[in-house]
Copies of this chain bind each other. A is one copy, B any other.
Amino acid sequence: MADLIEARVLKGFRDFLPEAEIERRLLGEILESVFRSFGFVPIDTPALEYAEILLGKGGGETEKQVYRFQDHGGRDVALRFDLTVPFARFMAEHRNELALPFKRYHMAKVWRGENTQRGRYREFTQCDFDIVGSESAAADFEILLLMRESLRSIGAGEVSIRMNHRGVFNRFLAHLGVADKSVETLRTVDKLAKIGKEETLSLLSGLTGRERGEKILSFIQPKGSWDETLAAMAEAAGGEGPDTERLAVLRRFMVDAKVADVFVLDPSITRGLDYYTGVVYETFLDAMPSIGSVCSGGRYDNLASLYSKEKLPGVGSSIGLDRLIAALESLGKSKRSAGFARVAIACVDEALGGRYQALATRFRAAGLPCEVFSEKRKLPQQFASAEKKGLAWVVVADGPALDADSLTLRELATRTDRTGLSAAEIIGTVKAG
């Protein structure tokens, strides 16, 4: 025998065994059904693209993490590392085939050669949803509402969506006379929850001087209610503007739609990326805020500027599926299950393989997923195997029992048998049970 090759996956990559994969799929299906209920449509893009397109301006942390190589034709290619850049390229390429505003979702794997010591994966699933081609407050609000509905639908419990507006922050910085430091300031403030007030103040002071650092730190403290915080923000920014007006309109929409309790105006939310220009938001599970934001995003005023001269404003959000699943598991709220079938047909006589499947076909047609056991083993073994697979019932029948439609139904939990049941009676019992 030749030497065996060791069966193993790459560091940072994972197999999904049935229980974990069922959990992921069910979660994905629930999210998709919510997106669809809002009229959002799915797209997909290639896993592999020209490196030039994915890396764009290039540089920075991202470039180091990207899986990049030469393909057979000598092309410089890379695996997508997020779904935003491919979406920008997609919109530039297909703009004329799509009606605007365009509402899309995209749930797919992405790859980053990150340092796995921080518990990060190198292959993970992203789930993005955006409205492109609208500058309206209605679009902002729809994304916010969709975030809320998505997270409610998966049973994650209560959530808080903490939001802010980049425009107010920028006006405030201009008012302070440090507009030229806005990118670094926003990135520093974004770290507040992670590094704490002291360290933030120290970094801000280094950037803008101690006095301004203190003002910035004071600006980013919530001031109480939404209205109080908004008033304080406007004042610090030198007065009302289109940005504070947008926040006021969104607040009205929330009250009108009776969802206001979920949304918190939080001037410390900045999202690190330069990309955002309007509202920005992060979402925390009330039962587990410590895992960080499970759904974040914001408004941008030009999605595809690297690839197209046409301006494409939009607003979107991204759910971190892996983080969310980890949270649901910790909270005991995950939808793990060993399988889909609830009933199996035991193999009493191997010669009856065709008739067992005929019976199973009746169950399946009635909406009962049904497994047929292929191996003739002792019944207790078959029952034990069924229990291990998460089944609740096993049908036992030999040839005469099938002929007479007089079957035995084993309830695994109680270890009791009901005899003399017809197929129709079994369907009724299993569906009710």
On whether the beta carbons of B37 and A25 are closer than 8 Å, the reply is: no
Known: A71-B67, A136-B375. A92 touches B354 (CB 8 A): no
Map CB proximity to B onto A81-101 as digits: 1 under 8 Å, 0 otherwise.
000000001101110011101
- A345 CB to closest chain B CB (Å) equals 10
Inter-chain contacts of A47 with B (CB < 8 A): 47, 79, 109, 111, 123
A353 interface residue per 8 A CB criterion:
yes
Which residues of A289-344 are within 8 A (CB) of B?
304, 306-309, 338-341, 344
- Assess whether B375 is in contact with A134, with CB atoms less than 8 Å apart: yes
B22 near A77: Cβ-Cβ < 8 Å: no
User: With the chains together, A253 CA to B94 CA distance in Å?
Assistant: 51
Please tell me if the beta carbons of B10 and A75 are within 8 angstroms of each other in the complex.
yes
Chain B: minimal CB distance from A305 (Å): 8
Name the residue of chain B whose CB is nearest to the CB of A43: B21
Q: A7-B89, A71-B67 are in contact. Are A257 and B355 (CB under 8 A)?
A: yes
Q: How many protomers of this protein does the assembly include? A: 2
Q: With both chains docked as a complex, state the minimum distance between the C-beta of A258 and any C-beta of chain B, in angstroms.
A: 6
CB of A4 within 8 A of CB of B357, answer no
Residue of B with least CB distance to A385: B99
A218 in the interface, Cβ–Cβ < 8 Å? no
Whether, in the assembled complex, A210 has its beta carbon less than 8 Å from a beta carbon of chain B, the answer is: no
Inter-subunit contact A253/B354 (CB<8 Å): yes
* CB of A371 within 8 Å of the partner chain: yes
Q: Looking at A53, A134, A309, which has the most chain B CB atoms within 10 Å of its CB?
A: A53
Closest B residue to A114 using CB positions: B72
- B257 adjacent to A357 (CB under 8 Å): yes
> In the complex, A103 Cα to B341 Cα: how many Å?
12
> Given A18-B43, A71-B67, A370-B38, A138 and B7 touching (CB < 8 A)?
no
Docked-complex contact A371 and B103, CB < 8 angstroms:
yes
Cα(A253)–Cα(B350), bound, Å: 10
CA of A95 to CA of B378 in the docked complex: distance in angstroms?
Answer: 22
User: What's the nearest-Cβ distance from chain B to residue A378, in Å?
Assistant: 16
Does residue A113 face the partner (Cβ distance < 8 Å to B)?
yes
The answer, yes or no, to whether A424 is at the interface (CB within 8 Å) is: no
From B94, B257, B370, give the contact of A358 (CB < 8 A): B257
Establish whether residues A141 and B354, one from each chain, have CB atoms under 8 Å apart when the complex forms. yes
**Cβ-based interface call for A104 (8 A):** yes
Cβ-defined partner of A304 (8 Å) among B7, B72, B339: B7
Chain B: minimal CB distance from A150 (Å):
12
Contact of A16 among B43, B309, B340, B358 (CB under 8 A): B43
Given A39-B339, A136-B374, A139-B374, 17 further pairs, Cβ under 8 A: A8-B50, A10-B77, A15-B44, A15-B94, A18-B41, A18-B42, A21-B43, A37-B370, A38-B372, A67-B69, A99-B389, A136-B350, A138-B373, A145-B357, A145-B361, A149-B364, A257-B355
Selected A-B contacts with CB under 8 Å, 12 pairs: A5-B52, A7-B90, A8-B53, A17-B98, A21-B41, A38-B341, A39-B369, A47-B109, A141-B353, A149-B364, A252-B354, A257-B357
6 pairs of A and B residues whose beta carbons are closest in the complex: A256-B354, A39-B371, A253-B354, A69-B69, A138-B374, A39-B341
